[in-house]
Structure formats: structure tokens, C-alpha cells
Amino acid sequence: MKFLKAFNFAVSVGTFAFLPFKVGATVHFTGNEWTGRNGAEDVFAVNREPASCNPVPYHSTEAAIEAVWDYNAREKSNYLQMLTGEKENWDLVVEQNLSKAQSHINAGCFKPEYQPSSDHGWKTVQLPRSWTSQGFDFSIYTNVDQPWQSRYDGNVPVPQAPTNYNPVGIYRKKFTLKSSMRQPGRRIYLEFDGVESAYYVYINGEAVGYSEDTFSPHRFDVTDLLLNDGVNTLAVQVHKFCDGTWFEDQDMIYDGGIFRDVFLVSAPEVQIRDYTVRTDLDNSFTSSTLEISMDIRNLSGASKNSWSVTAEAYDEAGNNILNGSSTRLDRLNSGRDGNSVIKTTVKSPKLWSAETPNIYALVLKLIDDSGNVQEILSSQLGFRKIGFTRAEVDWAYRLTTNRWQPITINGKRLLIKGVNRHDSDRFYGRAVPQKTLRE
């Protein structure tokens, strides 16, 4: 599938085109996706999964709840396999531009049999980490101008990407699927949580997909390209700049590379692809509606009848405050998406605020017609209500609001203290370690 981007920002939301991609079909790249030339300015993804909350399935309710209280506990899921971390080695080489990187590509660097060599500039690295912190390239700080304009490619027109100075990094990673990921009737997705700024993905020498957007997570269905038994080879070609960099223009430091986690997720063929949670406290802040809207996808070869979804919400003491909240799915046609909603009222919830950040562990369970739990998801759930004065304008867009109320959370005035934060670390680039964040 290809996603199209609109450079007229005023109409970009909701106006992109979606071209369906058939699971298992061959992916082809033009090689110009990142350039902003010859129609490529309309493409920001190839064969990428539609945007979602990117849920992680769990093998038990207990594991799902634990992952809410401890973010790192998600790695205990039977259906998640990390490819980054201190014990995970990758191979990396970075060249000044695509022309100079072409020698590695021509030598077959995306193929499993290729052997990276330090004689050709390759290094063994651990991720996530910007490549500027690993002995490649250099960081660029800029405010108003694009990062390449002042010294390198000053005449590049909007929306094209530079070609003279536009570092290209090629990553390689070997891995073997753990047994729990390989169960029949499941799809395996490869997720990148942050890559600066455009990249092509290959599995075992075969094209998987392409994506832009530095700071958003992206998923690709790689089920049909993986070896269930044996060693798999992941290769990623990253461009530091692309036509999307014009959208990301900020007063910040530009680095490059894979700066957030990369991992595999295994989900059942019938799955909760996405969900949205909405809470609405009453004016006394003692009761709240809770609405959970779910996009449920059936990738199996048969229609499913009489499935259901249940919702549970646990406090830290292990009490479920949503007893009996569920919805029935009468029919899920093969190859189609369906939507279902759970709506209930929660009495006297513990409220979330910066001073008392009370949360619950929301657990969703997808149950088949025989009563078997097929999928378990979880996320943090908080109850809060934000109040503010809405700005009003007249026909000429002149401001007509003349009385402003302070911003409130749960009826209490909010005092905002903060800074303009960008992820930046002197040793890791954009990949700020958890220890540093806590400090």
C-alpha cells in the first residue's frame, strides 16, 4: 500500500489517498520515494501498516497488567521480541550520500550472505542510538533554515531533499524468532519507534516497505518473509533527510539513524488493530462515562461469528472497576475490518492530575465463539477533565472572545511550568536513556 502526503498543510488532514496492498504481494521501490521529485512528494509510505496505537499482545492478564505499572515489563510478553538493547548487535555503515552508499548496495548488503567488513567502513553497534554518536557523520543545529541550506545544498527547492550532503546509513541485524512468536494463525509485525528521517526495510533480501516521519512509530507485516526456523537478516537503508524534513523543520539538532527501539510483535489473525479510549467526567467530578472504540480486523481465511470483547480496569490493589463491560461481535468477515464500542459509567474513579497521577490498568480481551481468549491488550487509563475558554472569531477571523478563564484540570486551576524539550543526549544523540530521563 502507498500513502500520499499533501504539502498544502491546511488540507492535509484526512485527504491522503490509500492504495490497498495485498498481503504477500511483491513490494517494489522506485528509489525516489525520499527525494520529493517526479511525483515522489506525494508518497510517505509503501506497504506500511495504517497508523494505530500499536498495541502489544500479552499471553496472560497478569503480564498485561504488569506492563502498565512497569513499561519495561512489556518485554516479558511471549508475543514481543526486542531487536534493540545492550545485548543486541547490529552492523552499520554511513556514507555522505546515496551515490557513495551505492557501492555497498551493489555489493548486495541487503542479502543474508553479505559479510560486513571494517575494511569497508562497517562497525558493530548497539541501538537505539543516533549514528552521530557512533563515529559517523556529525550533528547539525539550525533554527530557521533547513539543516543543509547554510553550507551544503543551498539551492534545493521545496519539497525536494538534498543529494550532495544527505548521509545514508545501512543497518544489518541477524535474529532468530523465539518459539512463542511462531505459533500458527498469527501475523508478525516489525515495528520501528523512531528513525531519522526516511528508510527502506528488507527481510532476508526481500523488500518489505518504506516510511517517513522521524518521530512516529511504524509497523510492517513481515510474516511471509520470515524464516520460522533459522537465522533471519534485517537490513535498513536510512536517509538523514527526505522531502518530509521540510515538515519537521524545528529549532533543534539533527542527527540521523535509528534512535528508538525496533522489535517484533506477534498478533492473532483476528486482532484488535486499534482502539481509542474516551472519558467524560461530570461537573461534580464524581462520575465518568468510559467509551472504548475498537477497530477489529479479520486476516484469517474465514468469517467469524459471535466473538466478543471484554474490558477490565484494575487499580494497584488488583480490583477490577469494570465488572461486566463487554460487547458482542455478530460477524467478522474475512479480510475486513469492523468497529465495536464498549460504553459504561464509572462511579467515583480516582482522578488523574500532575499532583496525584492515579491510573488504572485497562485490559481488553478478544474472545472467540467458544469462549477462548484469543488476544489480550493493555494500556494506562486515567480519568481527568480539562477546562479552558474557547477562542471565538467573527467572519473576518477577528478575535471576539474578551473574557478568559484559566485552564483547569478536574476543576482546579493549572499552573504550567515547563520547557521546550527535545530529546538530546551527549552520548546517545536523540536516544535518551531511561536513566537519564529519570535524573
CATH 2.60.120.260-classified regions of the chain: 2-268
- Residue 100 is given by DSSP the state H
Q: What's the pLDDT score for residue 390?
A: 83
Which amino acid is it at 387? G
Name the DSSP letter for residue 405. Answer: P
Give the CA dihedral 192, 195, 200, 204, nearest 10 degrees: -50
The reported pLDDT for the residue numbered 19 is 36
Cα separation of the two ends of the chain: 42
Residue type, 331: R
Annotation: CATH topology of 270-381: Immunoglobulin-like (2.60.40)
Cβ atoms of 338 and 299 within 8 Å: the answer is no
Q: 16 CB contacts (<8 Å, ≥6 apart)?
A: 3, 4, 5, 6
Alpha-carbon distances of 181 from 138, 392, 429, rounded to whole Å: 38, 53, 32
- If one counts every other C-beta atom within 10 angstroms of the C-beta of residue 433, the result is 13
- Cell (9 digits) for 311: 474490558
For residue 177, pLDDT beyond 70: yes
pLDDT in tens, 218-262: 999 999 999 999 999 999 999 999 999 999 998 999 999 999 999
Give the pTM: 0.92
CATH assignment of 2-268? Answer: 2.60.120.260
* Residues 80-101: tens digit of each pLDDT: 999 999 999 999 999 999 999 9
User: pLDDT tens, 29-65?
Assistant: 999 999 999 999 999 999 999 999 999 999 999 999 9
Residues of the chain with CATH 2.60.40.10: 270-381
Q: Is the pLDDT of residue 8 over 60?
A: no
Cell of 411: 476543576
pLDDT tens by residue, 16-27: 333 334 555 689
